[in-house]
A = this chain, B = another copy of it.
Amino acid sequence: MPNISRRAEATPESPIRRLAPYADAAKARGTQVYHLNIGQPDVEAPKEFWDSIKGIKDPIVAYTNSAGNIGLRQAAVEHYKEKGIDITVDQIFVTTAGSEAIIFAMLACLNEGDEVIVPEPMYANYIGFAAIAGIKCVPITTKIEDNYALPSVAEFAKRITPKTKAILICNPNNPTGTVYGRGQLEGLRELALKHDLFIFADEVYHEFNYTGVPVPSVLNLQGLESNVVAIDSVSKKFSLCGARVGFFMCRNPEVFHSAVKFAQARLSPPAIEQVGVEAALRHTPRAYFESMKSEYMDRRDLLVRKLRQLNGVVVPEVNGAFYAMVRLPIDDCDRFCKWLLEEFSFEGKTVMLAPGTGFYETDGLGKDEVRIAYVYRCEELAKALDVLAQGLSVYPGRTCEQALPLHN
């Protein structure tokens, strides 16, 4: 029997999805599970998306251009212009969601065995993408005590080796909810120019910014035109996670052309969703984003307030995206998250969380942390957090002896 590959052995299971069988079993027992583990937004997708898809007349679903429909690329250019990002249609192409855009950036810019520096805790799938591309994610740890701010340029510089080719950031950040400001990005710019590095920026949460100050896009960093690849997706901004439509943006023609060659090999992004997304980008009023942002800010406020009332829980500043990476008074997040699904329920309910360990590349970190996605309306979110509080108060592996309050 032939062996599987080393990279298959090395690829971790998704920390967000590996608990799914326990959740299924809990549901089978009749327990209601609040899914705070996955970033699946619940705001309705724009009506224009569905109207345009339901109006498709052609009975055949043909390949689109490998770079996506030109109309969609033009609509995206207009969308970014409104956000203060000036790119041309020759600098953007359509990918099968943000995931593929990141893989293409890695494939186009890094040789096998090369290194990309990534702040941790990091979006867990970056490690899977790196495995696919045969490269290495080198973590640089950010700390809850600093609200997960980027470490200093000097700290980054310490991780640079002859194999370092890129830095990958996610801004606003999944899983921490941190927003990196202009000053932090300008530090990275100096580093990239000095060491000839690419900067990949996953900006899929660009609309989810609660700081009151615009989130800087790496595309607007002066002098970095040849070094930057920005990644976006409609998954979060339009609640279209399953549509698998994203964008690869880059002003370096060689990198752009290389990524398009990889796109040609896989022929075409999904055609039907492209039609819907073009309509959504062209016609969704600004009010849609404003109301969505206001909804998520209310949830964020509720989450932070309720969690901070619990003894032993540490909640940093949460300024963007729709996640918080919090410290809990527990012995082991993997055990706790599994216990919540397997052994605990409160009034017939439990919560599913993403264990913190899965977001760290450094062994041993994140054991008392979890990622919480606030993707429920406030009333439901409050109930879910009460269930979590109750779980914390009776969990056998809790490290904080004082009883935790319920129903604050």
A residues neighboring B (CB under 8 Å):
1-2, 4-9, 11-14, 17, 38, 40-45, 47, 50, 53-54, 56, 59-64, 66, 96-97, 99-100, 103, 107-112, 114, 125, 128-129, 131-132, 134, 165-166, 196-198, 226-227, 239-244, 252, 254-255, 258-259, 261-262, 264-273
Contacts and interface: CB of A to CB of B under 8 A. Distances in A.
Contacts of A198: 2
Contact of A2 (B43, B61, B227): B227
Contacts of A50: 56, 59
Nearest to A60: B239
In the complex, which of the residues A50, A227, A259, A270 has the most CB atoms of chain B within 10 Å of its own CB atom? A270
A267 B255 CA distance: 25
Specify how many copies of this chain sit in the oligomer. Answer: 2
A41 to B, nearest CB: 7
Given A11-B262, A241-B267, A267-B97, A45 B17 contact: no
A103 B269 CA distance: 16
Contact of A242 (B40, B64, B132, B240): B64
A112 B56 CA distance: 43
B132 A107 contact: yes
Contacts of A271: 241-244
20 contacts: A2-B165, A4-B109, A8-B258, A8-B262, A13-B264, A17-B66, A43-B60, A60-B240, A61-B239, A61-B273, A96-B244, A99-B267, A125-B264, A128-B264, A131-B265, A132-B262, A241-B268, A243-B271, A270-B270, A272-B272
A8 B6 CA distance: 23
Contacts of A227: 1-2
Nearest to A41: B60
Given A8-B261, A109-B5, A252-B1, A45 B61 contact: yes
A83 B219 CA distance: 51
A99 B96 CA distance: 12
B7 A243 contact: no
A129 B265 contact: yes
A227 B3 CA distance: 9
B266 A242 contact: no
Contacts of A240: 60-61
A9 B257 CA distance: 10
Nearest to A54: B54
A270 B273 contact: yes
Contacts of A1: 196, 226-227, 252
A105 to B, nearest CB: 10
A261 B97 contact: no
Nearest to A125: B265
Given A54-B54, A241-B267, A271-B243, A45 B66 contact: no
Contacts of A254: 4
Given A53-B272, A96-B244, A272-B242, A8 B265 contact: no
Contacts of A38: 63
